[in-house]
Amino acid sequence: MKIPIVVSSFTARLFLGLIFSSFAGFISWVFFFDGSGIDQNVYYLRQSLVIGIPVGITVSLMWWNTESSGIMMIIQAGLVCLFTICVPFLIVNFSNIDVGTTLVGPSLRVPVISLGDIFKKMLMGAVLGGNVVASLFFLYRSLFHKEI
pLDDT of residue 81: 95
Distance from C-alpha of 84 to C-alpha of 123, rounded to nearest angstrom? 9
Distance from C-alpha of 79 to C-alpha of 85, rounded to nearest angstrom? 10
**Cα 40–Cα 41–Cα 42 angle in degrees, nearest 5:** 90
Please report, in tens digits, the pLDDT of each residue of the chain (148 residues total): 577 888 898 999 999 999 999 999 999 999 987 766 677 778 888 889 999 999 999 999 999 988 888 898 999 999 999 999 999 999 988 887 766 677 677 777 776 677 788 889 999 999 999 999 999 999 888 888 877 6
Phi/psi at 108 (5° precision):
-95, 120
Alpha helices in the chain (DSSP H): 3-32, 40-62, 70-94, 115-144
